[in-house]
Amino acid sequence: MSLIEVKNLKKYYQVYQKEPGIKGSIKSLFHRKYENIKAVDNISFSIKEGELVGFIGPNGAGKTTTLKVLSGLLYPTEGAVSVLGYTPFDRKPEFQKQFSLVMGQKNQLWWDLPALDSFILNREIYEIDKDQFKKTLDDLTEMLDLKDILKIQVRKLSLGQRMKCELVAALLHSPKVLFLDEPTIGLDVVMQQKIREFLKAYNQKYKATIILTSHYMDDVKELCDRVIIIDKGKVFFDGLLDEIIKKYADRKILEVTFSKPVEKKDFSIIKAAKIKKFDPPQVIFSVKRKSANPVAAKLLEKFSVADLNITESSLKDIIREIFTGRDLS
Amino acid sequence: MRLMVTKKLRYLKLYKAFFKNCLIREMEFRSHFIIQNIVSAVWALIVLVTFLFIFNHVSSVNGWDLHSMLLLTAIYFLVDRIFDSLFEINLWDLTTLVNTGNLDTILTKPVSSQFMVSLRKFSFSMFFSNLAMIGLIIYLIINFYSPISFIQIISFLILIICSIVITYSLWFISVLPIFWWGRLDNIHHLFRPFHQLGRVPIDVTGSLKPFFTYIFPLAFVSTIPAQAIIGNLSYWLLFYGIIISIVLLVISNKLWNFSLRYYTSASS
């Protein structure tokens, strides 16, 4: 049984175009040229209980729009969506008590109050039992190391602390389904890592089903087994992370350390190898998968090599290649 | 029925929690609290004093003498200030919520979203003004309209609630176009000039009186509640007031849910 089911979902927006300047503005007062934006264009997928799925795609690909439809915020133009057996847009309280949406750029905490006051308000909103509330709150503050800041006004907290508090506010009612939209945006590397570790632990401890969107490939790589790549409103890929590498990484990386000085032009004899990084004595080449071995052989034959290492190209590079449309098999 | 009662209790409890948070917040901004209170009290006072000047020259306007005019105005300001305390700050916020997409955090909550957007915040800045208006109404009753029957008082209180509900419903509906028109910072003022009409005894509108009583019921803002105290209320209007309040409230809810279909949830 899948927990989340999306079939042929479409969400179109009408936006009007305005020519630049005052003249354009006056013109648009009387006559507006409308255009249909296909934010989500015929997307289908299903997600099982306990899965942690990553949505990736460039800005404006339709990731957030999909999450918003799943949360019942947006009314779909076409298609069927079901989450926990409910139609999200009906916004039934029984449904809303079982999921949570966290957006890195929007906050639900009261700005002028300590986070704890907002948590207590959420206890009322979600009708959480007092003992249960205390237990969950203790658990979450422990996991996120928040003890000391719960009584400080939210506006005085740092971005990272605020994000942690936002997570607590979203998790107090122990949602079965969690949608995270860019939860690590704007955070420093250390804080990103902490949030990631927390999400992983939360997913394992509470068996929550999580969908995550992120620009940071590390988020996805460390957290998700399965990814759905969305581009221009369509599903481009849906499967295991490893499969992307198999399917789209048609290049391998050769890291070579030379024992004698080399120059860039020396490598012009090996046509199949593209230099990625030239940092003597180390040179990194990007090579088509099938010519990786012949190139390695040739390098060993023509140069004096101290060390040679063949690896897969990084996920970041693969995704970048997919989205820029280069080197696609 | 039992379910409805527990549901009401839940919303009452929830409102208490909102109220508490607002009170905590308000205490952070003491000078704002004091100045707002002075401003709103002075404003009402000036309007009331102008009647003393006007009625120096005339003794009655279409049957309304100075005391009934003061009563009408005090009721208008009371309702207006209660509306401001409960709703105005929230309707002001609604524009921002829709335009920034922050309405998201409210729409995902397992509580009526109309309730949340309308009553999430409470403004304490009208507190003294409200007390002053209540004081003035009691003063006028004791000095000019006593003896007053128990039924009159009950009718008056019911009509005040109707007045608030009608004002709220019409005002709320007038704000909904933001879902289509986008950035309209002043849309929550759209209804205010109409509401101001409620400060005039509806009797003076002549042939438009049925329209303002039954269709666009501004008569219920202050004229009809005042009549309950003055003693010339036809009880049919009490009944109609309750009905039209419920009808308008239901319509506002239907329109709210309809408008949400056009919510675009700005930014990501």
Indicate yes or no: CB of A68 within 8 angstroms of CB of B104: yes
Q: Which residues of chain A from 45 to 104 reach within 8 Å of chain B, CB to CB?
A: 59, 64, 68, 71-75, 91, 93-97, 99-101, 103
pLDDT digits (tens, 9 = 90+) for A41-63: 999 999 999 999 999 888 888 88
| Mean pLDDT calculated for residue range B124-153 | 88
For chain B, what is the domain count? 1
| E strand segments, A49-98 | 52-56, 78-83
Question: Is the residue at B18 inside a domain?
Answer: yes
Instruction: For residue A132, name the pLDDT band (cuts at 50, 70, 90).
Output: very high
Which ipTM was obtained for this model?
A: 0.79
pLDDT digits (tens, 9 = 90+) for B139-191: 999 999 888 899 999 999 999 999 999 999 999 999 998 888 776 667 778 88
Give the DSSP letter of residue A108. -
Query: Closest Cα to residue B266, out of A87, A40, A65, A181?
Result: A65
Domain containing B64 equals 2-260
Model pLDDT, residue A1: 67
- Chain B CB within 8 Å of residue A13 CB: yes
A210 Cβ contact partners less than 8 Å away, ≥ 6 residues apart:
A51, A52, A53, A177, A178, A179, A180, A199, A203
DSSP-derived 3-state class of residue A225: coil
Bridge partners of A78, per DSSP, are A10
Question: Is the residue at B147 inside a domain?
Answer: yes
Indicate yes or no: CB of B10 within 8 angstroms of CB of A181: no
Indicate yes or no: CB of A124 within 8 angstroms of CB of B14: yes
Question: Is the residue at B267 inside a domain?
Answer: no
Residue of A64, A108, A121 with shortest CB distance to B21: A121
In DSSP notation, chain B reads -HHHHHHHHHHHHHHHHHHHHHHHHHTT-HHHHHHHHHHHHHHHHHHHHHHHHHTTT-S-BTTB-HHHHHHHHHHHHHHHHHHIIIIIHHHHHHHHHHHHTTHHHHHTSSS-HHHHHHHS----TTHHHHHHHHHHHHHHHHHHS-S--HHHHHHHHHHHHHHHHHHHHHHHHHHTTHHHH---TTGGGTTHHHHHGGGS-GGGGGGGHHIIIIIS-GGGTTHHHHHHHHT---HHHHHHHHHHHHHHHHHHHHHHHHHHTT------
* Cα angle, residue A284 at apex, residues A279 and A285 outer, rounded to 5°: 140
Q: Does B215 score more than 50 pLDDT?
A: yes
In angstroms, the CA A116 to CA A260 distance is 64
What's the predicted TM-score (pTM) here? 0.82
Q: Which residues of chain B from 93 to 122 reach within 8 Å of chain A, CB to CB?
A: 100-102, 104-105, 107-111, 113
| Mean pLDDT calculated for residue range B65-80 | 90
Residue of B14, B107, B264 with shortest CB distance to A125: B14
Question: Is the residue at B266 inside a domain?
Answer: no
Chain A CB contacts of B264 below 8 Å? 13, 74
| Mean pLDDT calculated for residue range B12-20 | 89
Question: Is the residue at B155 inside a domain?
Answer: yes
In angstroms, the CA A95 to CA A93 distance is 5
Question: Is the residue at B265 inside a domain?
Answer: no
Question: Is the residue at B244 inside a domain?
Answer: yes
